[in-house]
Amino acid sequence: MVAHAASAGIVDDVERMEEPGTPRVDARAVPPYARTLRARWLGRIRYRDAWALQRALAAARADGTLAEDQLLLLEHDAVLTLGRHADAGHVIAPEPMLRGRGIEPIRVERGGEVTYHGPGQLVAYPIVALAAPGAGSAPRGFLPVGVRLFVGALEGAMADTCAAAGIAAGPRPGHPGCWVDATGPLPRKIGALGIRVARGVSFHGIALNVTTNLADFDLIDPCGMPGLRSTSLARERARAGIPGADADRPPSTESVAEAAAAFGPALARRLGFELVGDLPPGADAAGERRALEALVERLRATDAVDDAEGDPSAELAPTHAGAR
C-alpha cells in the first residue's frame, strides 16, 4: 500500500506537466524490442541549444514525421532551470553572483522546482512517444508506454547506472528522482527527474550527478527542498571505500561519458526498446551534434517542426534570482 501511494504521488507530479488531453495508457508490460530508441551522445552543449533541439524533435515525433524515439545524452555548462510553476525564491544566490559566474536562471516548460545543471553531470533527454504519434491509427507494431512505467524506467535507469559504478541507489517514496540511502536516516539525492509530456511525447528528463561540483547546489534549494543533501557518484564511491575513488574528483566530460554508456542501455532495457546509435567511448559527439542539427533542419524544411511558438521562455513567468 505504501509503495502504491508513493507511485501515485510521483505520477501526479508528472501529470501536472502534461497538456490537457494528453492520451495516457497504463502499459505495465512492454515486450522486448517492440520499438527502437536512438541514443545520441552530444558531449558538452549549451542548455538553450539542447532545449531548442528537444522541442524540434518532440514536435516532429508528435506528428509522426520523426519515426524513431530519441535519447539525447549530454552535459551542460553551469545553468539553473526552473519548472513552469517553480518558486524563484528557491534560487538562493543573488543575481549579481550568478551573473558574475555566467550562470543563467531559465524558466522552462517542465514541472518541478529549481535544478542545477553543470559540468560532471549526466543529463538525458528522452524524446519518446508515449501515445501513438500522428493522426489516425497507430503505426504497425507501435506499443504505447504508460506514464507510470516511463517515470519508473527513468528512475530505475539512474539506479542501474549507479549500480554499475558500485553504488546502491533508488527511488524515495514521495520524492521523484534517485536517492542514496533513500529510506535511511541520511537520504542523499544523486539524480533529479523532471519531464513534460505534450501531444503524447515526452521531453526534458533526468540529471545524474557523476563528478559534479556539489558546492554549486548551495546556489539553490535543490528541487525546492531547503536542507536537501545532494551527492554524486564520486562522493559515494569514496564514502564506500571503493579503491581509486576520489570524492574531490574534478568534473569531467569523460566521467559523464562513462555514465552515459551505462544509462542508455539501462533505459532501453527497462522500456523494452532496442537501443541503436553509438555510445561512448566510440561515439563522436561533434559528429552527432552536426547530424542532429542537420536532421532538425530537414524537418523544418518539410514543415514538420512548428516554430510558431517562437521563444518558449517568452510564454513563461520571469525569473528573479536571489529572492531572499
Residue numbers annotated as active site: 223
CB 200 within 8 A of CB 62: yes
270 C-beta neighbours (distance < 10 Å), count: 19
- How is residue 52 written as a grid cell? 531548442
Q: In what order do the strands lie in the sheet with 104-107?
A: 104-107, 79-82, 115-117
Of 266, 274, 279, nearest to 208 by C-alpha is: 266
Q: How would you class 169 by CB atoms within 10 Å of its CB: exposed for 0-12, middle for 13-18, buried for 19 or more?
A: buried
What residues contact residue 193 under an 8 Å CB cut-off, 6+ apart?
112, 151, 154, 155, 158, 176, 177, 178, 205, 206
CB 64 within 8 A of CB 301: no
